[in-house]
Structure 1
Amino acid sequence: MAAEVMPSRKRPALQHPHHNANGQVSSGQPRHHGDEADMDAFSIPKLLQSPTSGHKPDQYDDMENLEYPPSLYSGMELYLPGHLLSAPREKKVSFLDRILAKYRPNGERARKHREYRERIRFNYKPLHEELYSLNPDHVFVPGFLNAVKDGSEEALRKIIMEHSPGVYTFNMLEPTFCAKMLDEVQHFENWALEAKVKVMRPNTMNNYGAVLDDIGMEGMLHELMMGFINPLAGVLFENVGGSTLDAHHGFVVEYSMDRDLDLGFHVDDSEVTLNVCLGKEFDGGELFFRGVRCDKHVNGESRPEEVLEYSHVPGRAILHAGRHRHGAKAITAGQRTNLILWCRSSQFREMKKYQRDFSSWCGECLLRRKERRRKLSNAKRQLAA
């Protein structure tokens, strides 16, 4: 999921970044990849200011589990961007729901989510019960498990590879666990279809996939974070709260030729993100990274050493800071499913409210601090001379 973000160019609403021959991101600012519907404005899709004349909107009366009255979707369809006017109704509904969610009261959202979880809890029968508790010997490859059991920084660093500053990969999941997780997700999707349950998607940017916390894996994922991600994050990401992780958002995302193809340029709503490819066979879909930035500098240019493209390998994990700007190129064949764990630190988030300098982790803040020190040093030498 050298390239530069061009802050002087305005990105049209809802367009993913395009890449030129040099792999440059030329379409503007990264979006905030949040799991809340009321995230900052540029994570919300936009409608046209005027209706499209002559367009005959679809009717939605026969569609089940709509969030709003069918007539509302028909009326709003006239304001859809041109490339969506001929899209399937399901895609139009997904687009419009993401807009309407911005204006839904928080209490109503919480109520619907609670009812959704309760319906799954009382009606969904898992395919692989063993996935809902963490058995390290069945989940992790021996090299990763032994390094975590050792716990020393030396042992942990031996199993990881740093591809560019702040982007680490390591072998993590057993093939049998990956296969069972893929089966479980498909089993849940089939159940939801038969039960006429509208699946709540992981975030505002993915139209496919499911939140694993919602289907009963919350405890297992929390144990995974606390016992197996915290040791690594504490060593690699202490400056962004890696040693104080205490909450998570766990989900899977799916990419294929008939589903989501790519993922736009964005930052995550996390302090540390774990991204593990579960499979299947696929071509394309490379992740691209463009450096860690604070809110003030999120649209700044990237330096050559910050630029990375990475091809997923099933079972292999990527660990990076949530504020590391990234995206995914379009998949060109097959299907790819990834397990994502956004790890959060309430302590770091609280402390960040009172900070003004983020040079310990923002690449642009660090560069500007070094430049200020250089100018000050030159000034002192000139005075001394």
Structure 2
Amino acid sequence: MARYRSIEEILAEEDDLGLLNVTLRPRAARTPERERDAQLVEKVNEFFERSGRVPNPEAEDHDEMRLGVIWKRLADNGPAEDLADVDRNSLLSGGPLALTAAPPPPDRDWREEPDEREIPASLDDIFDDDELDVSEALTTIRHVTPAEDRLVPDHKAEFYPCHDFDRFREMFERTQAALESGEREVRPINFNEEVRVDEGSLFIRKGLLTYVAEKAEMTARAGKRDHRLRIIFSNGMESDPLLSSFRKALADDPTARAIHRHGLGAMDPDWEADRIDLTGTVYVVRSKSKDPAIAAVSGILLKIGVTTQEVRRRIADARDDPTFLLAPVELVATYDLVNLSWRKVEGLLHRFFDAARPRDLWITDRFDRKVYPREWFYVLPEHVSRAVQAIRDGNLHELEYDPQSQTIRKKAGAQP
């Protein structure tokens, strides 16, 4: 390899690879601010070549309006020699093309107040506009109770005299004595607290001892589980709010208290000693729903329930209750119970007719959620009557319901 004694000897060699052929870029003739102006002029010239006019600062299109405002500020300064190389249409110099291509002014600026005659008077005026294309799904309301029905509700929780208060009087007296002696304790209820409410729960609300006597079958409202309660007060009145409403009333009452026993809580064998096995009424109802799938079988589709309330009050708000298929119901029959726990009787009846429970029965609530009621059965009123009589006689365990033949028969091996 050749050795070089100086840089001159290296540069004197032939440059076969062209390493020394360097082209220097000319120094920028504009400042960064002026370079941005040049880019603006370039954009305006491109806009002019597309549309035949300069951008309008009053345009309804936001991009054109923005470009027009910036361009107007630059053009007001007059011609600029250092931008002439990018102003190929002579727009800055006020050439004839720029003057003749200016758009006519709009009839009215979009920023101005609208004419009163153009302001719609109602939603119907908006949706009737031929230029407005709105999907029917956005304007058609489904699963919503009409306003006239909401103004006069069939049922709401009220205070009314308790018809069987004698069943609860002694329990209230024992509770009051236990509170005074310290055998029972109270706990404040925090605001927005979701209180646990079970049958037999005791509270203090508005200065009154408050007892949860009944917690009816589960329903679903607004996608959440809910129950209809029967609440007894120590002044001889009662009410039937929803569980969610009762919880809210407790949380909103600064004087509300929950009453507890001393001990191990739910593990204590005496924890549910306050629960009273109330005698209730078996009720049988038929749906008056207009849903074709339900109306077609309304003759044999019956709801079997048991309640300690007056039956008329229990079914009063049926059309707003998913448990009743969100429709009014017809009362078919009632059967009074004597010295029998309503909760146990309801469980016996539902298990007895379980084979006749429709597995595919569901409804859609107002939030388009599926609800599967569990208290409806494909039976006839006489089947329910015979089952209730068997409970009274104490031999329901010897019988079974055959959904194929729709008959109640003796179980195989049962004593005749």
Normalised TM-score (structure 1): 0.20
The structure with the larger Rg is 2
Structure possessing the higher relative contact order (Cα contacts under 8 Å, 6 or more residues apart): 1
- Higher percent of residues as helix: 1
